[in-house]
Amino acid sequence: MVLLGITGTDGAGKGAVVDYLVEKRGFTHCSARAIWIEEIERQGIENNRANMRLVANELRAKHGYDYLITYYLQKIAEEKPEQVVIESLRARAEAETLKANGGILLVVDADQQLRYERIQGRKSSSDQITFEEFVGHEELEMDDPDPAGMQKAKVIEMADHVIQNNSSLEELHKQIDAIMVEIKS
């Protein structure tokens, strides 16, 4: 089985990488956002970026800092897909557990201004923020001292492969294809 984890900065194109892996390479998609939104709805709170971060941190504190990965590893054991991509790792323990289970960690990054423009274009309720708020959220999420919090900088450092997504979808797809050739060889 091929197990990939995707991490990276907001608006870098993690979703575009996942879409390509699912549509062109037959991967099964496992989404962190889906887990967090389900809990947000269960609690009856507003679906915004701050609440998503708080709920994710609560679930990590309650179920283990690697909860995202252990949650999906259980589903993978039951359903036995051949290729899985888990989006979006944010805590060091998630990356450690992914790798301990034979997973490969991909990082997607892009220029900060371009990433902000992208999140504004997707019109998600959690993305309706100013550039200053965007930068502030990013700083907070890079190195939360709480082990249940987001530690994107530490996760990014653990990457097996880095994708720079500052260009076209075609260029992004070429980078993904090159990584997949390397992984499968």
| Separation of alpha carbons 103 and 94, rounded Å | 11
- In this structure, what DSSP letter does residue 129 have? -
Percent helix, percent strand, percent coil in the chain, to nearest 5: 60, 15, 25
pLDDT in tens, 123-172: 776 678 899 999 998 988 898 888 888 899 999 999 999 999 999 999 99
DSSP codes, 16-81: HHHHHHHHHH-PEEEEHHHHHHHHHHHHT---SHHHHHHHHHHHHHHH-TTHHHHHHHHHHHHH--
| Separation of alpha carbons 39 and 46, rounded Å | 11
- Provide the pLDDT for residue 167: 95
> Which residue has tokens 């502030």?
136
- Provide the pLDDT for residue 123: 77
Q: Residue 12, Cα to own-chain centre: how many angstroms?
A: 10
- Provide the pLDDT for residue 48: 86
- Provide the pLDDT for residue 88: 94
Q: Are 90 and 151 in contact (CB under 8 A)?
A: yes
Q: Provide the whole-model pTM.
A: 0.93
Q: Three-state DSSP class for 163?
A: strand
pLDDT band per the 50, 70, 90 thresholds, residue 73: very high
